[in-house]
Amino acid sequence: MSLQSTHDFVSKLLNNKRSRDAYVYEHIRNGIPFQLRAMREQRDWTQADLAKAANTGRTTITRLENPNNERLTIKTLLELASAFDVALLIKFVPFSRLLKEYEDVSSDALNAGSITDEEEVKALNAWAAERDIKTHAANASDTILREIKGKGNTTPQQTWLRFVHEVTTSTEVKTPTNDINERRREPADQPNAELVQTQQDQLLTTEIGGQRRASSRG
Amino acid sequence: MWKLRSFRQSNGNTLVSEWFAAQAEEVQEAFLGRMKFLRGLPGNGWKRPYVGQLRHASCKGLFEIVISVNGVEHRPIGFFSEEMEFTFLAFATERDGKFDPITTCDVAQKRKDIILNHKERSREFTIYA
């Protein structure tokens, strides 16, 4: 860190190993205690409440919330993560990632919501839906590419229509059973379903016609 | 977000920048790291174990930031100059319940008086990254 400018800070980071080692150390030894306190207070928990949830003593929580205390173990962190019902991420990262991670260290930014929080459930379901769509799109793309390689005479329009059909109609995105946003799909939500079906019929007719022409030529 | 200010020496330099330049990298990062996280606390968040009110008579109205680095107890000293604003007046180390230098509180009180009469004798500073 620097008292002068961000540029001065980066220069120090690049050129002084003691500074960058100390930077990492300070963000760990301040980050965990400040985050513990922020998360506890956001939940309106006393130190005794957290101690009970983590199956430990109140004095242990007092010690863990003190950034001048240097005795933190991964086991303790896992127990605290379980008490808050949040995940714990411990991994090596480049400095550029660390800087972004700690740009905002306000109490609100440090708070991590429990998995049962409405916002967290929404975020998890949105992530699952996005991942499934990407996976289905990638699978459809692979299938079509294999078909193109096999036939060798598919037009770009046919390829696109086939792709749209694969993604929108031939797969079903499944959501977790506790999806609070679960609802029936209305016809209007199905993008161009009828149009896609019509275009798909035309595509198949064209393909069949092409095969017929090819066979008649042969 | 809390604002941080520092006493300005008669030569125009801030006390913080002069003290900071004389410290080892580990102490520099410890001070800036602690202040970075303290700035993000809500208005009522500056309390133990991060910040303590000094009890000795000569230290009345002064507060210390509690920072340990490699077994040395560093004590940046200051006062709450405005709402969510802290002004640094002196830097000391602590051993066996006593400040080094021993005149820390006296010097800090004089500087506080100067600032209260001449606002320009303090300057805001920020922490980058």
pLDDT at A217: 40
Most confident of A96-105, A140-149, A206-215: A96-105
What share of chain B in percent tops pLDDT 90? 99
Q: What is the pLDDT of residues B80-128, one digit of tens each?
A: 999 999 999 999 999 999 999 999 999 999 999 999 999 999 999 999 9
pLDDT at residue A215 above 50?
A: no
| Separation in Å, CA of B41 to nearest CA in chain A | 6
Q: Residue A64: its chain B contacts at CB < 8 A?
A: none
pLDDT at residue A216 above 50?
A: no
Q: Residue B128: its chain A contacts at CB < 8 A?
A: 1-6, 8-9
CB atoms A18 and B33 under 8 Å: no
CATH superfamily assigned to domain A3-114: lambda repressor-like DNA-binding domains (1.10.260.40)
Q: Residue B29: its chain A contacts at CB < 8 A?
A: 1, 19, 22-23, 25-26
Residue A213's pLDDT band, with cuts at 50, 70 and 90, is: very low
Question: Which of B34, B40, B129 is closest, CB to CB, to A106?
Answer: B40
Whether residue B126 lies within 8 A of chain A, CB to CB, comes out as yes
Please report the DSSP string for B28-54 in residue order. Answer: HHHHHHHHHHHHTS-TT---TTTEEE-
Residue A194's pLDDT band, with cuts at 50, 70 and 90, is: low
CB atoms A3 and B127 under 8 Å: yes
pLDDT at A117: 95
CB atoms B129 and A6 under 8 Å: yes
Look up the pTM and report it: 0.78
* Average pLDDT of every residue of chain A: 82
Q: What is the pLDDT of residues A135-144, one digit of tens each?
A: 888 888 888 7
Structural contact between residues A126 and A134, judged by C-beta atoms closer than 8 angstroms: no
Q: Mean of the pLDDT values across residues B63-86?
A: 97
Domains of chain A, by residue range, sit at: 3-114, 121-199
Q: What is the pLDDT of residues A116-132, one digit of tens each?
A: 999 999 999 999 999 99
CB atoms B126 and A31 under 8 Å: no
A173/A140 Cα distance (integer angstroms): 14
pLDDT at A142: 83
pLDDT at A176: 56
Whether residue B70 lies within 8 A of chain A, CB to CB, comes out as no
Strands (E), chain B: 3-7, 51-53, 63-65, 67-69, 72-82, 85-95, 98-100, 122-125
CB atoms B40 and A107 under 8 Å: yes
Q: Residue A102: its chain B contacts at CB < 8 A?
A: 36
The residues in B 34-53 lying below 8 A from A, measured between CB atoms, are 34, 36-37, 39-42, 45, 49-50
Residue A197's pLDDT band, with cuts at 50, 70 and 90, is: low
pLDDT at residue A212 above 80?
A: no
Cα angle A168-A172-A176, degrees, rounded to a multiple of 5: 135
Q: Chain A interface, mutation test: which of B6, B18, B29, most A Cβ atoms within 10 Å? A: B29
Q: Mean of the pLDDT values across residues A146-160?
A: 75
Q: Mean of the pLDDT values across residues B61-83?
A: 97
pLDDT at A150: 74
Phi, psi of A47 (to 5 degrees): -60, -35
Q: Which amino acid is at B32?
A: L
- The ipTM value here is 0.94
CB atoms A1 and B36 under 8 Å: yes
A153/A150 Cα distance (integer angstroms): 9
Q: What is the pLDDT of residues A29-64, one digit of tens each?
A: 999 999 999 999 999 999 999 999 999 999 999 999
CB atoms B32 and A1 under 8 Å: yes
Size of interface A-B (CB pairs under 8 A): 87
Residue A177's pLDDT band, with cuts at 50, 70 and 90, is: low
pLDDT at A202: 52
Check residues A162 and A193 and name the one with the higher pLDDT.
Answer: A162
